[in-house]
Amino acid sequence: MTFNYTKFYKGIDPEPQGENQGYPVPGPQGATADQIAGNAFFASECEWKDIVNQVYDYIVIGTGPTGVAFIDQIYKENPHAKILVLERGGFWLPVHYQMLPSAFAATSGSPPTTYPWSRTTEMVTTAPDFFQAGYIPAVGGRSTYWSAWSPSPTPDLMRDWPQEMIDITLQDNFWPRAKDFLHVTSMDKINDGVYANLQTQLDQNIAKNFKKFVPSAENAYPAPIAVDNSEWKTVKFYKYSTVGTLLNIQQRQKSLAKTGDGTELTIVDQCVVEELLHNDKGTVIAIETSRGTLSVSSAKVILAMGAIPPATLLMNSFGEQLPNAGKRYTGHFMSHVTARVKRSAYKDLSDLEIGAVYLDGKDSAGYQYHVQASVFAETNPEQDAVTTVRECPDAAAAPSMQQLVGSEDYVVFVCATLGEISEKNSDNWIKLNKGKDPTTNISLQLILGNEEKQLWDQLDEATYQTIAALATDTETPEIEYWIDTPDGGHWTTNKPPVDQIRLNIIVHEASQIWVGEDPESSVVGLDYRPHGVTNVYVTGAGLFPTSGSWNPTLTMCGFAQDLAVKLSNK
């Protein structure tokens, strides 16, 4: 096959139309990242003028996991569906940052994280002065930085959910379809040399020990994480983000459109949705955006913006028509414990091995927690630093180089343990304030109640018990814990103080616009539409009546796919 250099070079030209290709004078000598990505994937300012007059089947707001899950499933049902995507951010990362050179870890702070809300004074001044994990205003959203743990909650973990929603998860294809979309696999199936003998022994130990060592535990198994990569045959650990999936869909639909076998997917980036304009019958007729007003016509509007942003949009747009919006605010609090045992507790380990295990349980009141245990055996930590960063189960819960150097003869555990926040606490809510920006004019408050305090004690105890269960084959070895000190930290057999292991961050926020049959006691109906609204549909954890403790993304995507199937059939 002869390579077509002319087609290739014209194809990467940021402005191929009307270019002089260097004759009679040099062409433009620069191109920004926005120009390059925009030329390939996103609608231009000129195209926006045509977009506002087009009639679409669906207008999807957001490019995170639920938005892309919905789009992907719609096209499987009907490749001719006409879809417009509105994304508030621009193109940033092509994949999850762990799949890039390790230097990209430096980009995981703030920015790009934003906080489109104001915390109340009481939230800030009441210990442990919680703050809410922020958002990533870019294509792919938080999927470019997420931990990717993806458990499947069973009905007993969906406390106080409508039975109709639970029944959806019991359909034969619900979990397999969602797992296929997110590329979920369990760590015992990776077998890439890094996940190997250590993983096997961790699985054996936890299966044998967890009921005895962790009395409050109900299940324990190899961690299910979104890292499968069936397309790259030689790569087994490839942490998933939605960016590649979305852009691949867009390019595929473009090809199908050329042959008449489908319709192009239109993506508008750097377009902030500010308000849904509606008539007195609850039908949205236009969308106010930072680019101008967009007519909705007969399109169905899909909110795929996380949990708090769609609640903010609905509260600003519909006000008292949705009186329950924001009256619940749940999510997860967490503890982090780092420990180590002698390497001799395991057999035949290689120089570098990693393992990951998931354990879930409940306290005496029935509130849920789960332990995400990441385990590291490294005899050459500095030499293997790049591989460790790439294949770390959860980059936000990983040992530091200071903890690894000096632990060459040890196996190091990093446990992130999450507990649910009760939906019954009336002190926890989000409300509109008097801010002028409709995308940020929200105040939020979350304060611990007695239920959370009791659960947190149980959660911490279960974390230490889980470490012992994972470290034990026939005899429990001596366990050392990392203690932070002003000069960095050190290992000791004493457990760290509570204030060192308990974090003040809230993650996996949920329930702001929870689902239910009765408008008097919920915000969104069983058909994913806010009560009294005719053409808007909601995805994401904002729908959850209760948060449970399980990582929510897999469940969110499963419901987004279910929505796509229902709308296609309708």
Residue-range domain boundaries for the chain: 45-89+241-328+511-569, 97-134+188-236+330-423+445-508
Q: Report yes or no: 473 and 213 within 8 Å, Cβ to Cβ.
A: no
Q: What is the mean pLDDT of residues 438-448?
A: 97
Token pair for residue 254?
A: 């473009």
Q: Rg (Cα) of the chain, in Å, rounded?
A: 25
The amino acid at residue 267 is I
- How far is it, in rounded angstroms, from Cα 448 to Cα 470? 30
| Strand-strand pairing, 58-61 and 300-303 | parallel
CATH of span 45-89+241-328+511-569: 3.50.50.60
Average pLDDT, the chain: 95
As a 3-state breakdown, the chain gives helix, strand, coil percent values, each rounded to 5, of 30, 20, 45
Placement of tokens 């959370």 in the chain: 452
Distances (CA, A) of 99 to 34, 103, 389, 414: 21, 11, 9, 21
**Per-residue pLDDT at 368 exceeds 80:** yes
**Per-residue pLDDT at 11 exceeds 80:** no
**Per-residue pLDDT at 3 exceeds 70:** no
**Per-residue pLDDT at 540 exceeds 90:** yes
- DSSP type of residue 412: E
**Per-residue pLDDT at 2 exceeds 70:** no
Q: 475 or 12: which carries more pLDDT confidence?
A: 475
Cβ count near 331 (within 10 Å): 26
**Per-residue pLDDT at 52 exceeds 80:** yes
Q: What is the mean pLDDT of residues 520-524?
A: 98
**Per-residue pLDDT at 142 exceeds 90:** yes
**Per-residue pLDDT at 13 exceeds 70:** no
Residues in contact with 123: Cβ distance below 8 Å, sequence separation at least 6, in sequence order: 129, 130, 444, 445, 446, 447
What integer pLDDT is reported at residue 15 of this predicted model?
46
